[in-house]
Amino acid sequence: MNYLLHILVMIGIYLILTQSLNLVMGYTGLLSVCHAAFYGIGAYASTLLMTSWGVNFFVALIASIVISMLLSFVVSIPTLRLRGDYFVLGTLGFQAIIFGIMYNWISFTRGPYGIPGIPSPSLFGFVFDSPSSYVSLTTAFALLTVGFVYLITSSQFGRVLKTIREDEIASQAIGKDPLFFKTTSFALGAGVAAIAGSLYAGYMRYIDPTSFTIAESLFLITILAIGGSGNIKGPIVGTVILVVLPEVLRFLQIPDTVAPNIRMMLYALALILLVIYRPRGLAGEYGFE
């Protein structure tokens, strides 16, 4: 039973992550490969606040959102003025910088040794220290995230984001500043990703830099590519498939030395088939060319 609850917790965390990336990638058209960096910033910010200063989880979570959004503004100043592949390279550079800080600043982050003993979230005396209680917590945040993204993208702000995605010059012609809207979307995505990072840290009670690598950013993009982007349904479909798939492979009695390679082959095969037959993903509205 705990195993099933663990899967549900991870689905909730990854759903928050993919919906936040969907806001940036699916609705605004920005192919960012640094989303795991904001995920890690949220995890490390909340962890350090809780372990070093004794801050309550929910206060630390709010602080991690603010920190992640502020750093997104810093990175958006140079990167959002870039186009196409140059923007991707800019976000890749930010991902590398954040990972380097996590891994090498040992006196602050403990580097590759990680940070153990992270306190479980607590609210009004209730401690979320069991899988069943954490499912409730992550589900609540996942539903709030889905609702938040839906409200944002259904508003006039969201319609401007879609206009920028389809034709940036057209958005300028109707008096909208693309840089402002892209910066805001990027910051909102970073803030929501920080929520997922805080929840991950509180659930695992241990973090290290290997959970926030470029591979994690690419995995999130893969989820959107398979499930689809530009609407609410796509990330849900992709998250369920790609979080559950590795767990299904565990029951096939495949040797541990081979299982990761088979998983990557299945991801690659799925992507190839989708590019050919469903370029917008299984339930997506927007596809990158």
pLDDT value of position 205: 94
Least confident span in 64-73, 246-255, 269-278: 246-255
Higher pLDDT residue, 280 or 44? 44
The structure's pTM equals 0.92
178-205 average pLDDT score: 96
Direct distance between the N- and C-terminal alpha carbons of the chain, in angstroms, rounded to an integer: 42
Tokens of 81: 């003025």
Compute CA 196 distance to the chain's CA centroid, rounded to the nearest angstrom. 7
pLDDT tens across 239-273, in order? 999 998 877 777 776 666 776 777 778 777 877 88
Residue 144 · residue 151 · CB < 8 Å: no
Distances (CA, A) of 110 to 42, 47, 64, 203, 208: 16, 12, 18, 19, 8
Contacts for 128 with CB less than 8 Å, ≥ 6 apart: 120, 121, 122, 134, 136, 137, 202
* Band (161; pLDDT cuts 50, 70, 90): very high
Query: Is residue 127 helix, strand or coil?
Result: strand
118-126 average pLDDT score: 91
Residue 33 · residue 98 · CB < 8 Å: no
53-60 average pLDDT score: 95
Alpha-carbon gap, residue 95 to 175, rounded angstroms: 33
Q: Bridge partners of 122?
A: 127
pLDDT value of position 254: 67
pLDDT tens across 15-29, in order? 999 999 999 999 999
